[in-house]
Amino acid sequence: MATPRTISAVFHRRPGDAYPVFVRGEGCEMWDASGKRHLDLSSGMAWAASLGQGRMDIARIMGEQAGRLTYIHNAWASTDRQEELAWRITELAPDGITRAMFTSGGSESNELALRICRQYHLSRGDSRRWKIVSTRHSYHGATVGALSMTGRVNVNEMVTTDYADYLIDFPKVDPVITYRGPLADLSPEEAARVAAGWLADVIEAEGPDTVSAFIVEPILGAGMIVPPDRYLQAIREVCDRYGVLFIADEVMTGAGRTGSFLRVGALGVTPDLVIMAKAISGGYAPLGAVLIHERVAEALVGAGRRLDHVHTYSGHPVSCAVGVAVLDILEREGLIEEARSRGEYLRAAVTQALTGLGVLGEVRGVGLANGVEYVRDPETREAYPESAGLAKAIWDGMLERGYILPSLRYQGSDLIGDYSYLTPAFVISEAQIDEAVAALRDTIEAARPSL
């Protein structure tokens, strides 16, 4: 007789927490094992399920590809799906980006980018260039190289305590946060110029001949910070001045999330490498990519450099078939434009609903990459103290009401306080947005007496 399953055999990331178990999804809605319906405002908690749950057209393509060709390692062979996806995705990238390499996700892609940068400089005889500059508050993944590039304060507090001996001591530069801090009173153009100067200062301090690349998220995931539009162009100019490669980490913002296929493309900026994952497969299969500028690829080819360190499932045919299907759906259903227009509607709805509650700091975002920051005083922008527990109250209250809305307290920095992510699938309707925003208002009103 089987033993009753009274506890989970899964060792969860936070072993002491109770985890809901979801069993079914359709569009932006998900149902847990008890039958409770949840409206997902997070695209599967990680911005990945951009096309919504339960699309049978993608499931059918996955099955057909698995039945036709399941697997072959891409270290010595390619597949038609990988070849097609590379062509399709580079055609959507900024001019000059002509090559793609595929991985299983964002961390792997950032690790691969690190190796490509190293091989590029070796191909040019610059063997001293190895340092990757990144921003404080950033997040680039959970592998050793990606964690070394990560600057997110609360992550690094644990990392430096528990894993410091395993990591690379890469230099960091302050992020472009204009709601608080030294950039708050500057115009967008001046803030971009000052922040680009910070990068130049770090490169000078490290020694320009030792710096390989600068990696940055076009929208900072921690706090959902949107830099001034001019910032990416300004850092492109700094990188060019010092011979440093520019890596745009679009793991969260790419594949239509911001109302354009790539955020850098909308801003007219061409990085040397672009990192993609998450929405590139709509969450239907593990898939990441590194998009490579032709001049970088040519340098490696010309010098006979190799990139033999690849992972088992890099360029997996089923994952690449999903990637092609996602591009087809984005084009056929006009979902990138939907992300743009739905994002505008969402930001307006949140602003209207929360104005007057006395807790609304700033609603910020582009397309369906949005966040709302809560404050104790909207005039002074004073954040709630951590002890107030506002973010947790909103997360728990929304979940109890049947809404998945990640809400966090950014620990370790006075530049970001309590905030919520608003990153639903591109298929969310205006009616669903209205429903969710009304629930958020009710949740905040219920939490206020205890603040």
The Cα 438–Cα 19 span in angstroms is 26
| Position 13 confidence tier, pLDDT thresholds 50, 70, 90 | confident
The Cα 251–Cα 183 span in angstroms is 26
Indicate whether 157 pLDDT > 60.
no
Encoding tokens for residue 216? 């940055």
Residue pair 114/129 in contact by the 8 Å Cβ criterion: no
- DSSP state string for 230-275: HHHHHHHHHHHHHT-EEEEE-TTTTTTTTSSS-HHHHTT---SEEE
Q: pLDDT (tens digit, 9 = 90+) per residue, 15-40?
A: 888 889 999 999 999 999 999 999 99
| Position 324 confidence tier, pLDDT thresholds 50, 70, 90 | very high
Query: Among residues 367, 313, 258, which one has the least CA distance to residue 109?
Result: 313
Average pLDDT over every residue of 35-57: 96
Average pLDDT over every residue of 399-410: 94
Least confident of 9-18, 70-79, 254-263, 319-328: 9-18
Query: Among residues 35, 91, 18, which one has the least CA distance to residue 396?
Result: 18
Helix (H, G, I), strand (E, B) or coil at 342: helix
Indicate whether 451 pLDDT > 70.
no
Mean pLDDT of the chain: 94
Q: Which residues, 6 or more positions from 378, have their beta carbon under 8 angstroms from its beta carbon?
A: 358, 359, 360, 361
Indicate whether 69 pLDDT > 80.
yes
Indicate whether 3 pLDDT > 80.
no
| Position 354 confidence tier, pLDDT thresholds 50, 70, 90 | very high
Domain locations in the chain as residue ranges: 22-54+334-450, 58-332
Encoding tokens for residue 23? 């069993």
Cβ neighbours around 446 below 10 Å, total:
14
Indicate whether 4 pLDDT > 70.
no
Strand 245-249, strand 288-293: pairing: unpaired
Per CATH, is 58-332 categorized as 3.40.640.10?
Answer: yes
| Position 424 confidence tier, pLDDT thresholds 50, 70, 90 | very high
| Position 159 confidence tier, pLDDT thresholds 50, 70, 90 | low
Query: Among residues 17, 38, 41, which one has the least CA distance to residue 401?
Result: 38
Indicate whether 2 pLDDT > 70.
no
The Cα 236–Cα 439 span in angstroms is 42
Query: Among residues 275, 189, 292, which one has the least CA distance to residue 233?
Result: 189
Verdict on whether the full-model pTM lies above 0.85? yes
Helix (H, G, I), strand (E, B) or coil at 293: strand
Strand 288-293, strand 97-103: pairing: antiparallel
The Cα 179–Cα 367 span in angstroms is 19
What is the pLDDT at residue 308?
84
What is the pLDDT at residue 154?
59
Least confident of 2-11, 150-159, 197-206: 150-159
Strand 369-374, strand 407-409: pairing: unpaired
Residue pair 233/266 in contact by the 8 Å Cβ criterion: no
Return the CATH fold of 22-54+334-450.
Aspartate Aminotransferase, domain 1 (3.90.1150)
Q: pLDDT (tens digit, 9 = 90+) per residue, 102-156?
A: 999 999 999 999 999 999 999 999 999 999 999 998 999 989 999 999 887 655 5
**Residue 215 phi, psi dihedral angles, 5° rounding:** -115, 135
Encoding tokens for residue 32? 């847990």
Indicate whether 413 pLDDT > 90.
no
Amino acid type, 121 = H
Encoding tokens for residue 273? 């490498």
- Order of strands, sheet of 22-26, starting from the edge strand that comes earlier in the sequence: 22-26, 29-32, 37-40, 403-404
Number of H helices, E strands in the chain: 13, 15
What is the pLDDT at residue 8?
86
Helix (H, G, I), strand (E, B) or coil at 132: strand
Percentage of the residues of the chain whose pLDDT score is greater than 70: 97
Average pLDDT over every residue of 301-311: 89
Q: pLDDT (tens digit, 9 = 90+) per residue, 222-246?
A: 889 999 999 999 999 999 999 999 9
Say what angle helices 317-332 and 56-68 make with each other, to 10 degrees: 150
- Residue-level length of the chain: 451
Least confident of 201-205, 246-250, 307-311: 307-311
